[in-house]
Every structure is written in C-alpha cells, then in structure tokens.
Amino acid sequence: MSNRFPTKGRIIFHVDMNSFYASVEAAYNPDLKGKPLAIAGNPEHRKGIIVTSSYEARAKGVKTTMPLWQAKELCPELIVKTPNFDRYREASRNMFAILADITPYIQPVSIDEGYMDITECADLGTPLEIAERIQMKIKDELDLPCSIGIAPNKFLAKMASDMKKPMGITVLRKRELEEKLWPLPIEEMYGVGKKTAVKLQNLKINTIGDLAAYDVYQLKTLLGVNGERLKNRANGYDPTPVDPDAVSIFKSIGNSQTLPHDTTDEREIDRLLYSLSEKVSERMQRKSVVSENIQVMIRYHDRKTITRSQQLHDYVELKDEIFSISSELFYANWNGSPIRLLGVTAQQLTEKDEITKQLDLFTYENEAKNEKLYQVVDDLSEKYGKDVFKKTMANDNRQSISTSFQKDFLDDFKHK
C-alpha cells in the first residue's frame, strides 16, 4: 500500500478509541485532562476493579482488571470515577456516525472500535488523508483520541491500530510483515488468548514470525482449524469482509455507488437510487429482515457529505418502498449541487421471525436476555480471552468488572 490510493485490493481501517471510558470522562470534565484517571465498578469500595484508565494512570502501573486497592498503592493520586454507560453509548454513537459519513461499509465490533472498508472512497483522498480526517474530526467534534490501523485486511488493520497509541495512524503492508509484525511476541497477536499462547510457547513458538513459519499440520493437531487460521493471519492472510450486516451496535444493510461523473440529472439520480434500493432490498430478503429506518447518504462534487434518515411507522423490505422513502429523503435534502456519490441504508433491522413469534412476556424477556448475553460472551471472549468470565467471577473482588462489561454491551444491544 502506497500513500496513493491502490488500484487493486482492499483498504481496511481499524478505528480504535484510546482509553475510551476515561477519555469520555475527560471530555465531559476537562479538569480531568492530563491526570491519572480510572473507571472502576465500585470506587467507594476498595474491592472495586479497574475497568479502564487514562494513559497517565497507566504510566504509574495501573492496569485493567487490577483491584482498586492495588491501583491506589501504585498511584495514590489516582482519580476514580464510576462508569457512566449512557455517556459512553452517546459518545460511541457519535463516533460511528462520523465513520458513516465516509462509507456505509462499517462493522462495529465493540462500543469503542470498528472496521471500515474504504476501498471505494478514492475520491476522498489517499488512505492516509482519509484516516487523518477521521482522527481529527473525532478529536475536534468529540474531544476524543483514537488510533487507526490501515491495511489490506481486517487482521492486519487491527494489529496496526495497536502499534501506536494514543492518536496514532499506522500503515501495515504485507511486505512489511517481517519487519513490523513477525518480531512481536505471540501473546500480542490478535486472536491468541492466554491459554493458546501457552500452548504455542510450549512448541517454541514465541513470536508471530515463529507461528508464520510453523508446520500447519502440527498446528491443526494442536488447535484444530484455528491453528491453520492463525498461521494464515500471521502470514498476512485474512479474507473476512467488513460486514455491516453483522450483529453490532449499528445493525444495518446499505449500498453506495460513486457516479462516473458529477451530475445534477434527476433521471440519472433516480435510476441510481432505484438500483441502490433494489440491492438493499435483495440483501434484506436474503437475511430475512425488515427495517424501521431508511437513511440516504449524499456526497457532493466538493466531497461534502451529508446523511439523512427517516424513522418509519411500519416495517419495510420491498425495493419500491425503500426507493419511495429514499427518493423523498434525497429531494428534501439535496441542495442542487452536482452529486458524486449516493448511498441508501436500511437501519433498525428486525428478523421477520421475531415479528410473528408469539411469546408470553416471561419467555420473551428470558430469550432476549440470553440471546444477547451469548453474543456478549462471544465478543468479550474474542477480545479478552476465552477465560474472561472465569477470571472475573473467581472471587468477589472481580465480580464488579464482569457486571460492568456485561451491562455495557447488553445495554447497547437493548438500545439498537
């Protein structure tokens, strides 16, 4: 990947908010900026657990999941705040809205991070220029720092975003794996939890480079199909797409298209809106979902981009319905300037089965709760290791961190 926009291959961003909860608190109360700050489940009790901390606190040795009493010993001047999930959700929504101004191809993976596929955004500048614009907009409008990894796939983008924090932008090209990726300890590889790291280290696989060179059959014997997948990733191969349809903070299905030339021709615009509506409808029907909110993205010739949405009173799924709403939205908000790109997105999706499913209140509440909890467990296990809940529930000192993270994710899913 060069500084210019590549002519082939994918361009993937991983946007990772830096010390998210602590940063949101400092943005809300500027007096906290530059000070050692921690978010803890029960700060009034010394048994509380650190959820996250500012970089000033981390410099003193304060770490996530550390007991509060230990953090206070390392950093007596530590300022401790309780989590404010409404505040964090609002910041998260605003952050993802900024990303949505660039592309509809966004896959949130947690409240504070997500992937973007900007392959079709060459008209917005080079990948570095786009990343800098996103980073500065999040900083200027939300007063929040983020790091961005730029790579040809999701795994490398995720690894790149971790290489420079806070406020870093890192490009990781496949030709740079030997220099930048392979020397890293195996436990720093995304997707390798503590237990897997120990198993690999027992085979003398101590670095990502060791894994990249190891015999695939022995890895499959040890780890099953995950062994081959990890080896592929260590060699820079990850074909998984950025999937806007994945269950996430913003569950949506969208399509956008850059016009071959800037236009004000209403017939051309209508044809494109209809084509986009048709594609969205086809994808919705494949997923067996309906929508309660339609959004239109308009990018003008000068790259200025706006998004407008309409909340609906009824569910929609058919192309004519989506076209009618998106067309009305477009003409109500178009300023008459030449159009460069149009996008149509169906938001607030619901599975058809869920609409017709007849459940009493008790059954519904339990099914909904369990379904979301399972997703939370999967998300946290992927991010923090398979034994995250065993660790947090091991004793009373650690129970609060588990509760805090579960509530955070569950509330986000409840309020989609």
At 17-26, the pLDDT tens digits run: 999 999 999 9
Give pLDDT tens digits for 12-64.
999 999 999 999 999 999 999 999 999 987 655 545 788 899 999 999 999 98
* CATH number for 225: 1.10.150.20
Number of domains into which the chain is organized:
5
Helices in 164-307 by DSSP H: which ranges? 194-202, 208-213, 216-223, 225-234, 266-287
pLDDT-based confidence at residue 400 (cuts at 50, 70, 90): very low
**What DSSP character marks residue 179?**
I
Sheet holding 146-151, edge to edge: 106-110, 113-117, 12-17, 146-151, 169-171
- Is 240 inside any structural domain? no
Q: Is 267 found in the same domain as 218?
A: no
- Residue 112 labelled as part of a binding site: yes
Task: Count the Cβ atoms, other than its own, within 10 Å of residue 8.
Answer: 6
Max intra-chain CA distance, the chain = 69
**pTM of the predicted model, to two decimals?**
0.64
User: Residues 60, 36: contact at Cβ < 8 Å?
Assistant: yes
The alpha carbon of residue 105 and the mean position of all alpha carbons in its chain are separated, in whole angstroms, by 11
Q: Is 343 found in the same domain as 260?
A: yes
User: Residues 227, 216: contact at Cβ < 8 Å?
Assistant: yes
Give pLDDT tens digits for 327-379.
999 999 999 999 999 999 998 887 776 554 333 333 333 444 454 554 555 55
User: Residues 102, 121: contact at Cβ < 8 Å?
Assistant: yes
Q: Is 263 found in the same domain as 348?
A: yes
Q: Is 343 found in the same domain as 257?
A: yes
Q: Which domain holds residue 127?
A: 12-17+86-177
- Residue 117 labelled as part of a binding site: no
Average pLDDT over residues 92-115: 92
Q: Is 343 found in the same domain as 277?
A: yes
Question: What is the predicted pLDDT for the residue at 330?
Answer: 97
Tokens of 341: 């790109």
Rounded CA-CA distance 248/197 in Å is 28
Give the percent of the chain with pLDDT over 70.
80
- Is 241 inside any structural domain? no
Cis amide linkage into residue 166, ω under 30° from 0: yes
- Is 242 inside any structural domain? no
Choice between 258 and 335, residue whose per-residue pLDDT is larger: 335
Q: Is 262 exposed, middle or buried (0-12, 13-18, 19+ CB in 10 A)?
A: middle
Average pLDDT over residues 90-108: 93
Choice between 219 and 375, residue whose per-residue pLDDT is larger: 219
Q: Is 332 found in the same domain as 294?
A: yes
Query: Pick the catalytic residue: 56, 113, 317, 321?
Result: 113
Choice between 348 and 202, residue whose per-residue pLDDT is larger: 202
Please confirm, yes or no, whether 268 is among the known catalytic residues. no
Residue after which a domain boundary falls, among 62, 84, 106:
84
Q: Is 189 found in the same domain as 163?
A: no
Residue 300, pLDDT > 60, answer: yes
